[in-house]
Structure 1
Amino acid sequence: MSSHPHEGRRQRERPPAPEPLVPLVDAHTHLDACGASDADDVHAILDRAEAVGVTAVVTIADDLESARWAVRAADWDSRVYAAVALHPTRANALTESARAELEDLATHPRVVAIGETGMDLYWPGKLDGCAEPAEQREAFAWHVDLAKRTGKPLMIHNRDADAAVLEVLAAEGAPESVIFHCFSSGPEMARTCLDAGWLLSLSGTVSFRNAGELREAAALIPPDQLLVETDAPFLTPHPFRGAPNESYCLPYTVRALAEVVGRPAEDLARETWENARRTYEMRS
């Protein structure tokens, strides 16, 4: 199933269920990497999520196999939506046949975004087979065009690549709707993105003790440009960092974010739910 160049999970038990926080949408998760393989697994994950207020999730592809699977999962459960793309580190697999298949999958009515795509300048040279920056740029530009042709939001993965991502968006022309998944840059990048009208999606990293610049950035995000996500099974929020993440853990992140921005968690839940429903055009 889906593999991902994030740091690997340590073998620990899942965190306990948080107090419910209603309503929430997990704007970015990887159900297949969370261990789901069939409809029963997907239902179980979504049941755990719904029990704490997470009413819908967007499951993300990072390779062609996971793109096919994500679309199937969205058909299995009405609480699941899908996004399709090749992860930047896999951009060297964007063959003509892969492009054709992604174009076909992108037309599925439950595919609500093109992603995750973008630039990752952390992994080249560290990860065997990782796409080189030039390959990533070409693939990113193609995904930008696909988002514009389908009218679906562009979901961006950006790791150590602020300038490169902005350059591609400027050169190609950004789609109408752009989401920076797992936003992890500082306030300067946040201001640039927010001024362009783009959405910033925050994950469990906002709760990490070493994320001072990210917390400064989080405080700048207007209510209508904010999304929240788990990026499960990665980036489990503090104090459970290192344990397997799952969509039901999202309330931990939202409550941590509420402390950062000094606003009620219930308000953040409602606002980000509305933003996700609007941006992804979610219709059950």
Structure 2
Amino acid sequence: MSDTSQPKVRTSSTSLVHATFQKYKRKERSFRSSVIATQVILLVVFISLWEIAGRLKWIDVLLFSYPSKVGYQIWKDMLDGSIWPHLSVTVGETIVGFLLGTLLGTLLAIMIWWSRFLARVLDPYMVVFNSMPKVALGPLFIVGFGPGFSAIVATTLSITVIITTLVVYQAFREVDPNYVKVVQVFGGTRSTIFRKVILPASMPAIISTLKVNVGLAWVGVIVGEFLVAKSGLGYLIIYGFQVFNFTLVMASIVLIAIVATLMYQGVSYLERLLTRRKANE
């Protein structure tokens, strides 16, 4: 009699777990939908208020323009093709600075983790360099690399590399030492410890650093273009100020926001892929 009841109990337990999981998934979908809806509503409200304030002259239209005027500026520049060279230059510089900054910063963090001596030597220098105003280094990069792509990327790297190094290295240090000891007990080398324990455990911090570096890369590129560029969205912002075309300035800022959002969403998609892959392992 007990033998026949056990399958029923297991089936009932499995059904309960499945129902609970489905309820959780519905709740999460509802939550994500609410977040997206709220974000869209806030954006629509902001744009509407900005448009109304501009039309009714609540704000200085010469300085702040308004959405329909900015949208027309972007559309006109896209149709005549004048915006594409500037957009491609800035996006290219940003992607290069973003990728190089993340890669070099992560490699430097690995080197510091690998060598305790190197960590002690470089620690004060990294803290001091991180506290320096990067704008002040711009003229040095211009003189050293020449006025162009290299100087702008160097300005970007001066912002992204140290931040990446500090964040990733701190993530390496915060890995549970018990995991490291287990690998050491079984004869694992430092290389094995890094590959099997440190890097997998630090992957969320590295992904978070990618998200931060999206914004930092844009800051570095725009600052560099302010100083030296003859093309790019940063150049258009400076040019717009010089000729008092603040609609062009706002249009350039809007384009920066759109592309930066797309880059951030790309990193978020990568994070979801890695999370899904880790969950399936």
Q: Indicate whether the TM-score tops 0.5.
A: no
Greater strand percent: which structure?
Answer: 1
Greater helix percent: which structure?
Answer: 2
TM-score, normalised to structure 2's length?
A: 0.21
Rg larger in structure: 2
